[in-house]
């Protein structure tokens, strides 16, 4: 599912207004690039793609912009254990979690409402108001189980 530009725009403009941020050519480019791609993107990857359209954007601006997207809630920041932060679009697709193969690094996404409901329950029990969450299951995918056996 692609992310919905309408909702995005709304969240973003409210966020930028709130913080007195300005709309710039670079920010638009980076944000559009990020949402046009899909998956779990490193800053490096977003940068590479954005540069295809404008050779002059600096990686620092990409770092700064991705951080804004994260703070605005439009992107989740993830850490899959390699040393890099990866960003993932947070609107326009249903929430999902990850199954990660520790051998071949395959990542499978899944969602499970029942788990989500239980999470809320647990949080409430501790007086928490959950804003977001991440869940990652690490193990061996079908193929790697076979090869390792």
Partner DNA sequence: CTGCGTGCAAAAACTTTGCAACAAT
Partner DNA sequence: ATTGTTGCAAAGTTTTTGCACGCAG
> Which SS3 state, helix, strand or coil, does residue 91 take?
coil
27 makes contact with DNA (CB under 7 A): yes
**Binding site partner of 60, from DNA, a second copy, none, Cβ cut-off 5-8 A by kind:** DNA
Residues 15-44 that bind a second copy (CB under 8 A): none
Q: Which of 77, 91, 93, 95 binds a second copy (CB under 8 A)?
A: 77
114 dihedral zone (left: phi>0; alpha: psi -120 to 50; beta): alpha
What is the Cα–Cα distance from 106 to 66, expressed in whole angstroms? Answer: 24
Helical ranges in 43-128 per DSSP H: 43-53, 59-71, 113-125
Q: Which of 85, 95, 106, 107 binds DNA (CB under 7 A)?
A: 85
What is the Cα–Cα distance from 84 to 81, expressed in whole angstroms? Answer: 8
**Binding site partner of 22, from a second copy, DNA, none, Cβ cut-off 5-8 A by kind:** DNA
Tell how far CA 138 is from the center of its chain.
Answer: 19
Q: Which of 11, 15, 37, 63 binds DNA (CB under 7 A)?
A: 63
Which helix (H) or strand (E) covers residue 99, if one does? strand 97-101
Name the residues that contact DNA, by CB under 7 A: 20-27, 42-44, 54, 56-61, 63-65, 67, 82-85
Q: Which spans of this chain sit near a second copy (rule: CB under 8 A)?
A: 77, 79, 81, 99, 101-102, 108, 110, 112, 114-115, 118-119, 122-123, 126-142, 145
């Amino acid at each position: 599912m692609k992310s919905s530009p309408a909702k995005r725009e709304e969240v973003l403009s409210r966020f930028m207004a709130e913080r007195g941020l300005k709309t710039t050519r670079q920010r638009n480019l980076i944000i559009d690039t990020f949402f046009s791609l899909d998956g779990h993107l490193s800053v490096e990857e977003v940068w590479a793609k954005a540069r295809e359209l404008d050779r002059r954007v600096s990686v620092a601006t990409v770092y700064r912009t991705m951080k804004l997207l994260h703070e605005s809630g439009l992107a989740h920041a993830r850490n899959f254990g390699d040393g890099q932060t990866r960003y993932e679009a947070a609107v326009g697709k249903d929430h999902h979690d990850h199954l990660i193969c520790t051998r071949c690094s395959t990542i499978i996404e899944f969602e499970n409402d029942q788990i989500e409901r239980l999470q809320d329950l647990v949080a409430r029990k501790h007086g928490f108001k959950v804003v977001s969450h991440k869940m990652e299951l690490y193990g061996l995918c079908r193929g790697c189980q076979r090869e390792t056996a």
